[in-house]
Amino acid sequence: MSEKENLTPFQIQLLLYYLTAEPSKRTVTDSARSLNVSKWVVTRTLDTLEKLNIVERLENRKTVLTVPGVKLAEKYQKQKKVLEKYMQYQDIPPAQIKDNALRALAAGFSDEFMERLAEQESRMHIKEIFAGRRDFHGGDICNYLSDGSYYFPFIIYREQIKNHNNLSMANRGFENPCEVIVCTY
């Protein structure tokens, strides 16, 4: 399959089904039942995926993912999790997340874009974890991050001291960029 060629949302959904379904359930009938579509839709989709060398049909009416198919399905699975988590933070209704994630995967975002989205989702997750906490240290944050470089807004607020003159940003605080570098020694 060429990098330029994108799969449809249903092709991706079927590919993900075959990645996680037990081998005995990788039939047209079980796929159609599980994905709530007709057997005809599954058969036509499998025809296309087979031409792309993503699946292979066996004599016993079972379908298996090829080596490139497994790699592609694992990539989609990882990206789908990132998209779903990101959409949760954007207050997308849960009923719409699955369909929207499949559509986003079918749009064919670049690997670089998906990496940035994963980073953004990680930052949102950390903000949620530390929301409302007044005191924590860098080690607390690093426990939630894998090795890498992360950018966060660092907000400085005016302290409530006797003469109230320690910051000059109209008493609202101000935001500075902050880079956190995590590395395991």
Amino acid letter, residue 142: C
pLDDT band at 152 (very low <50, low <70, confident <90, very high): low
**pLDDT tens readout for residues 156-179:** 554 555 555 554 444 455 556 677
The yes-or-no verdict on residue 5 having pLDDT over 80 is no
pLDDT (0 to 100) of residue 15: 96
CB 75 within 8 A of CB 3: no
pLDDT (0 to 100) of residue 126: 78
Report d(CA 120, CA 13) in Å as an integer: 25
Say if strands 148-156 and 63-65 run parallel, antiparallel, or are unpaired: unpaired
Domain ranges of the chain: 9-106, 132-182
Q: Which residue has the higher pLDDT, 4 or 54?
A: 54
pLDDT (0 to 100) of residue 31: 95
pLDDT (0 to 100) of residue 73: 96
pLDDT (0 to 100) of residue 138: 72
The yes-or-no verdict on residue 116 having pLDDT over 90 is no
Q: How much is the mean pLDDT over the chain?
A: 82
The yes-or-no verdict on residue 111 having pLDDT over 50 is yes
Q: Which CATH architecture has domain 9-106?
A: Orthogonal Bundle (1.10)
pLDDT (0 to 100) of residue 157: 52
pLDDT (0 to 100) of residue 170: 44
CB 153 within 8 A of CB 177: yes
The yes-or-no verdict on residue 102 having pLDDT over 80 is yes
Question: Average pLDDT of 109-135?
Answer: 82
CB atoms within 10 A of CB 125: 16
Tokens of 16: 């993900």
